[in-house]
Structure 1
Amino acid sequence: MSQSIDRTKSLEQLDGEHWGAPPADATSLVRTVHEWRRRPIGTLEPDELARLIGQNVGLPWLLPLAVEILRDEALKQPAGGFIDGDLLYAVVTRSSEVWTAHPELARQLKGAVTLLTDLSTYEKREVEAFLASLPEGL
């Protein structure tokens, strides 16, 4: 996963896949994912990133952005920063294979989540599961 991502490009431009229009009977989520894939990734809000990541869409480009957001929020947290629970959940619940394949990004996420102090019981459980799933040495 590249850390230098052109945020002015859409997922369609970055991955070269053009899904076209969603089927006529598509769910709201499917229609929304199709729409968001055409937007520049730098314009996606944390809740939109969370939905896309939760659907395993655009992970090579969206996970680095999400980890950056979470790291920045974690650094601000002691001063009253806000952690987007949906984004945190979407990121830490990706499969261990994703993190094994991208150890530097996993290290960055590990560093960010270890700074978090104001998590709900639910969020703590998900973060602990993520940390436990990491290979030794990360």
Structure 2
Amino acid sequence: MDHLLHLDRTLDELDPPRWTPPAADATHLVRKVHELRYVPLSALGPADLRTLISQQVALPYVLPLAVPLLLEEPLLDAYFYEGDLLLAAVDAPVSAWAQLPDLGARLRAVITTLPEGAVADLPRGATEALARFVARPESPC
């Protein structure tokens, strides 16, 4: 299924079950993720995608939105720092990427072309996270 065909719909519509409202004492992050489930996919920006991917919410829908951005600008500063969207994406579970093998392969190819100096400027552990992602098999065994 091409998840990009549903850009006018929200995650709450596409990714059942529908979520109940967050608790009154929910953290800012929990409230934000709940809010993002009501935003049409076409309106989600890089920071929104980073948040959803980091929280592992509706990955079959949000990873296909993030990868084209990363193919164009791998070290995109979505919200916190240069490369934050990329690092969120490569930290997504193998099972999520198994559903999107072509996108994963394209992202791995882009990562291998990143200049060593640019990767060295990323936060601690980023080099290892990128290397693990690149080393993953095309599909899980």
* TM-score bin, normalised by smaller chain: 0.7 to 0.9
Q: Deviations over 1:32-89 (max 9, x none)?
A: 1000100011211111111111111010110011111100114xxxxxxx52311111
Q: Which residue of 2 aligns with 1:83?
A: 76
Structure 2: distance between partners of 1:48 and 1:4: 16
The secondary structure found in structure 2 opposite 1:4 is helix
Choose which of 115, 128, 133 in structure 2 pairs with 1:130.
Answer: 133
- TM-aligned CA distance change 1:70 to 1:27, over 3 Å: same
Query: Runs of 5+ in structure 2 lacking a partner?
Result: 78-82
Q: Which residue of 1 aligns with 2:96?
A: 98
Aligned 8 A contact 2:3 2:60 in 1: no
Which one has more relative contact order, counting CA pairs under 8 Å at least 6 apart?
Answer: 1
Q: Which residue of 1 aligns with 2:55?
A: 55
Aligned 8 A contact 2:11 2:58 in 1: yes
Q: Deviations over 1:15-41 (max 9, x none)?
A: 243213111121111111000100011
The secondary structure found in structure 1 opposite 2:73 is helix
Aligned 8 A contact 1:2 1:61 in 2: no
Q: Which residue of 1 aligns with 2:108?
A: 110
Aligned 8 A contact 2:60 2:99 in 1: no
Q: Which residue of 2 aligns with 1:39?
A: 39
Query: Runs of 5+ in structure 1 lacking a partner?
Result: 75-81
* TM-score, reference length from structure 2: 0.79
Aligned 8 A contact 2:105 2:138 in 1: no
Q: Which residue of 2 aligns with 1:67?
A: 67
User: After alignment, is 61-70 or 123-132 more displaced?
Assistant: 123-132
Match of 1:86, as an amino acid? D
- TM-aligned CA distance change 1:21 to 1:116, over 3 Å: same
Match of 1:83, as an amino acid? L
* TM-score, reference length from structure 1: 0.81
**How many residues are paired up?**
129
Match of 1:68, as an amino acid? P
